[in-house]
Structure 1
Amino acid sequence: MSSNLAGNQATERKRRIEKYFQPTPKDSLKQIAVALLAGGGIAVLLGLILLSSQSFLAVLLFIGGGYALVQGAIRKARYKAEYEKAEPKPSDREMDRTLALDLQQIEDRAMHRLGITADHLETGAASWDPVAALLADKMVERPKKRPLVLYGPKLSDFGIGEDGVWRFKLYEVLVICPTVHHLAIYHCSLDFLSGGLSMEDTEEYQYNHVVAVSTRTTPAPADLSLERLNTRDPEDDEVRFAKVLRRRLEVSVSNGQSIGVTVGITDEQDSSKQAVLQSSGIDEVIGSVRRVLRDHSRP
């Protein structure tokens, strides 16, 4: 019973959130369909009136009117189907609440996968809390003894909200757990449509093996352009990026390995074009991790 309930909830969530990323058809499409139906109906009516006196013209009116009625019905049905796929959309705040709940669950899962409890953590009260920020729509200080959580978009289909914020179908999440003896990290991909997780990785590094906590800006894969991705308004020139640059926060270790998340997206050919993302708290997280590294590098 519980598995069926969970499956139904996942299906309902996917159906609801998919609407956010589906462009709403323009009203002009509906107006054209209504005009065709009205014009077709009038033509058929005139054909009936003229049938006895001008049979040839009546036949032409029947043919033209019938064609207009068929086209109008097809366009109206198409508009209705597209509208039902896109509306009603969840609000921006509802989307953020859903993401916040996902992050809470991922944080708990990370602690379990890493075998860490709150008593093992060395984090202070001033660290960034993305969950509280999403729920409160403002920067909120994080309570003690919780890991540092960062999330960012994977370059997937996106929608631009009424608030101008870009929200994506796929995210990657980084949970950083500084402990007395080592730096433990959990990384995963979040399918925002279903809430499912994939590509889960856990890493544990001795502090003297961590060489950098930094941000890097690099080109996105050559075959990816945000111009091709779905938006709520595909005709909006402001979201057409010719060449995408990603800014990523990365934790790098001495063997050359690095792990991180995307915290910024810009157009290489026009730096004024930037994706507006939810607040990442990147500066606070970098500061917190660097403080821990400094403390544990002291003799």
Structure 2
Amino acid sequence: MTTFDQRHQRVFGAQINADAVHINPSDGPEELMSYGRRAVAERLYKRAAEYFTEAIAKGAPGSDPHYYLALALLGGRRPSRMGREAQQVMARVEEHLGRALQVDPAAAHVRALWVAVKRDHYADRHDPGPSVADLEAGAGDIDPVHAAEIAPFLGNRENRLWKATVAVAQAGIEERKPNVRKYFVRTPVPPVTGGPQAMMVAGGIGLAVALILMIASLSESGYLCLAVLVGAGGIVLLVKGFSQYNALTSKYERDLAAAEPKPSDEQMDMWLHFDKFGVLDHALRHLDRELDDLICEPQLVIGPASPTEQAVGKDGIRRFSRYKFVILLLGQTRISVFSCEWDFVKCIVSNADAFDFRYKDITGLRTRQLHEAPQGGRLVITDDHGKEMEVRFAKVFEMIIAGTDRIAVTIDVQAQNAGAGLQPTGATATERLVRRQLDDAA
């Protein structure tokens, strides 16, 4: 189907939009919180706010429901970048942060987020309280996951919280490498050892018979030759059976040690979460940009890089050994882009590229489905047996610049695990945000 974008550029393929929120009345608070966190990870903040609001209405315990609702209401924007709606948004944000501290006065991440938005919003105006000093006085150590969520609301990368999060992202990389490798190695099936074991049993029986014949040969010499033949055959069977059994079990133990114990799905997501933050910090330094230069939080679109290995976790989510990261830093009139491939196993950045352009240079923006990838554009995935295969793209995020340059990230693939779920890609939120900026600039 042929469609047109808001700049009347002709595009081919279906235009993909996020589905409307559908909350099932039977969903409990825990499920709603899980859906909301997923929406936050995708930067779909309006959807996330609906989930958290419903979770609170259904009695979700603790401070996190109010903390995450405040985070969703901010929508990835610092109050100073909200314009006329800043006061109204801040009133709701502070209401829920206050309610979160009523539930848990020691919640360090709630205090840290409140401090960050207060410093940004009340820099040159009256702060109705609680004061930044009071909030900081009661703050303890912040969970690194929450620190990464709060970091986009800081003014610059020299902030203590930002540096601490970068340190967490960089720590323990060497120790984690063999564990990540195991996630993508197929757990071996125990070998069939019936044949070698039968040979060893037969060999043992042969030796026993040979011994009996040798005893019998003491009174009847004719049994001696037969005892030697049977004994020799028994030894051959025993040695051959043991050799085969040992080879099978040794290989299985080596393969098992290479594949197990696997890290959990949650641990893999945690490592990738901090990898993304580390690459973001690298991108900001490489492009010499500060958070103060941006109109909103950095936009990250992520998908598999070719070639890659894949594994489907116990949670049904497909994960990859290599990713493509595209980070977009949106300014008032220009976009800076950092693109690279990230080896999730070896923790290596490759094929890095950085450039910037004006909004008016964007001539096409789409997320489309492809029935057939263009020549040379297919994703190569290594299957469980180590065999490489090409798979067709199912969905691609694309941005066309000045009619010729193209930014593209595969965000879904048609692979052998067609029913597997996806990790957050950030594509939908990025497309919507850039479109909004294009509309404002038109």
TM-score w.r.t. the length of structure 1 is 0.76
TM-score w.r.t. the length of structure 2 is 0.53
Larger radius of gyration: 2
Moved more, 36-45 or 56-65: 36-45
The 5 Å alignment of 1:22-171 reads: 22-27=185-190, 29=191, 32-33=192-193, 35-36=194-195, 38-52=197-211, 53=213, 54-55=226-227, 56-123=229-296, 146-155=297-306, 156-171=308-323
The 5 Å alignment of 1:139-218 reads: 146-155=297-306, 156-216=308-368, 217=370, 218=372
Shift of 1:273: 3.4
Shift of 1:223: 9.8
RMSD in angstroms over aligned alpha carbons? 3.0
| Whole-angstrom CA distance in 2 between matches of 1:61 and 1:224 | 57
| Whole-angstrom CA distance in 1 between matches of 2:204 and 2:305 | 57
2:439 paired with 1:286: no
**Which AA in structure 1 matches 2:346?**
S
Shift of 1:7: 11
**Which AA in structure 2 matches 1:181?**
T
| Whole-angstrom CA distance in 2 between matches of 1:85 and 1:210 | 47
2:383 paired with 1:230: yes
Give the number of equivalent residue pairs: 257
Q: Percent identity?
A: 23
- Match of 1:102, SS state, is helix
| Whole-angstrom CA distance in 1 between matches of 2:358 and 2:203 | 82
Cα pair distance change 1:222/1:179, threshold 3 Å:
closer
Tell me, which stretches of 5 or more residues in structure 1 are unaligned?
Answer: 1-5, 124-145
Shift of 1:106: 1.2
Moved more, 283-292 or 95-104: 283-292
Q: Is the 8 A contact 2:305 2:379 kept in 1?
A: no
| Whole-angstrom CA distance in 1 between matches of 2:326 and 2:426 | 12
- Match of 2:289, SS state, is coil
- Match of 2:235, SS state, is helix
Cα pair distance change 1:243/1:8, threshold 3 Å:
closer
| Whole-angstrom CA distance in 2 between matches of 1:209 and 1:95 | 38
| Whole-angstrom CA distance in 1 between matches of 2:281 and 2:440 | 26
**Which AA in structure 2 matches 1:183?**
I
**Which AA in structure 1 matches 2:436?**
R
Shift of 1:191: 0.6
Q: Is the 8 A contact 2:322 2:343 kept in 1?
A: yes
- Match of 1:247, SS state, is strand
Cα pair distance change 1:283/1:10, threshold 3 Å:
closer
Q: Is the 8 A contact 2:378 2:390 kept in 1?
A: no
| Whole-angstrom CA distance in 2 between matches of 1:225 and 1:153 | 8
- Match of 1:16, SS state, is helix
| Whole-angstrom CA distance in 2 between matches of 1:285 and 1:38 | 61
Q: Is the 8 A contact 2:304 2:324 kept in 1?
A: yes
Q: Is the 8 A contact 1:17 1:90 kept in 2?
A: yes
Task: Name the structure with the higher strand share.
Answer: 1
